[in-house]
Amino acid sequence: MVDDRPFSHDDLEDISSEASMTRRRKIEHIEICLDENVQCQASTMFEDIEFIHNSLPEIDKDKIDLTTNFFGLKASAPLMIAAMTGGHPHTLGINERLAIAAEELGLPIGVGSQRAAVEDPSLADTFRIVRERAPSVPVIANIGATHVEAAPDAVAMIDADILAVHLNPLQEAIQPEGDINSEGMIESIAAIVDSVDIPVIAKETGAGISAEVARSLEEIGIDGVDVGGVGGTSWAAVEYFRALKEEDDVKAQLGLEYWSWGIPTALSIIMVLDSTELDVIATGGIRSGMDVAKALSLGAISTGVAYPVLRPAVHGSSLDVIVELEKILESLKVAMYLNGCQSVGDFSSRPLILRGRLVEALKSLDIDYKKVARGS
């Protein structure tokens, strides 16, 4: 039988220090995402949004312009490769393949949490490769909300254009060795914003951002949020599988219970835009060009995918990553054509039909769903 596991088990054995445990965890996360079903059981709620078909689009599909203003920088389309990895020698090739694809398509790319490499510079190459292979696209650095001192180094390490501060309390709460003290986090994020001179965004990792959180983030000067909502990869699920392996029954039970905890991506976009002026990126369950189109129609400036490009980046080539991304972009163009949208900004004036759980949720939050639907 062919063993197509991305990493040998020798990679997982050295757990003598905290640093090596962090490295090992990165590999475990990738293996679990590829070997197990870690997708949310709840949906993004994009299924509760429908476009109104336009039989007279009056545009030429070949002239559709996907160009996007991404925090003052140019991206070829409203789609990015979301933060995933780096920090273990075996992740260098993965980041390289992702970066080559991003550069080829002109798409922004994020790296995974850089804290390990700030603490152990021998790991910096696994992140630097992204800037080396993607010299002309927006590159997004990534650190946790409490890692204030690490922020300037993380940005310098990859000559980043934007810094993402990740928020992952759900994962930490389920993770056997999770950091569950969130006291003072908003001050920490404010200090991070002050410590760098590039745009800073806050990024959830699969549980969504509420109106209240978005307002707090806006008050401290954040430039945008990546809502990282429910409907795609579930970090409670990933940690459930790690807890099972470690025979931690309590954490495993928690992982099951909280598997789909959080705010669905579509609802989160609406909540953030209803309550702030922040620029919104949508990750969390973006799986098709239609999902991208729906996120844009709600007012997101861009979207991102992690899980859909993980397998090709681990087992395949940069070309395989490009093929996955091109499927999404081609489907986005069809959605634009059938909506009569010449450019991505045109989505904001297209009417929508909203229904089901999304409308119920908006009503219970006292958000005017008819305004979101624009006259439907």
Ligand X SMILES: Cc1cc2nc3c(=O)[nH]c(=O)nc-3n(C[C@H](O)[C@H](O)[C@H](O)COP(=O)(O)O)c2cc1C
Chain residues binding ligand X by CB under 6 A are 29-30, 33, 82-85, 112-113, 142, 164, 166, 203, 205-206, 228, 232-233, 283-286, 305-307, 310
- Six-digit token string for 8: 């040998």
> 29 or 97: whose CB is closer to ligand X?
29
Nearer Cβ to ligand X, position 167 or 361? Answer: 167
Task: Give least dist CB 312 to ligand X, A.
Answer: 13
Which residue's CB comes closest to ligand X? 232
Specify the residue, 201 or 367, whose C-beta has the smaller distance to ligand X.
201
- Cβ-based nearer residue to ligand X, 84 or 100: 84
Smallest gap, in angstroms, from Cβ of residue 54 to ligand X? 29
Alpha helices in 220-317 (DSSP H): 235-245, 249-257, 265-275, 289-298, 307-315
Distant-in-sequence contacts of 32-37, Cβ < 8 A, 24+ apart: 32/238, 32/241, 32/242, 33/233, 33/238, 33/307, 33/310, 34/6, 34/310, 34/311, 34/314, 34/315, 35/5, 36/237, 36/241, 37/237
- Output 100 or 282, the one with its CB closest to ligand X: 282
By C-alpha distance, which of 255, 253, 362 is closest to 298? 362
User: Which is nearest to 135 in space by CA: 103, 93, 97?
Assistant: 103
Report the nearest approach of ligand X to the CB of residue 291 (Å): 10
What minimum distance in Å lies between the beta carbon of 229 and ligand X?
Answer: 8
Q: Which is nearer to ligand X, 85 or 268 (CB)?
A: 85
> Least distance to ligand X from the beta carbon of 368, Å?
28
Round the CA-based radius of gyration of the chain to a whole number and report it: 20
Read off the tokens for 131: 């800037």
Q: Which phi and psi angles does 94 have, rounded to 5°?
A: -65, -50
| Closest to ligand X by CB, 205 or 339 | 205
Angle, helices 91-105 vs 318-339, to 10°: value is: 40
Contact 290, 335 (CB under 8 A): yes
- H or E stretch covering 118: helix 115-119
Phi, psi of 352 (to 5 degrees): -130, 155
State the minimum distance, in angstroms, from the CB of residue 254 to ligand X: 19
Cβ 349 to ligand X shortest distance, Å: 27
Q: DSSP label at 296?
A: H
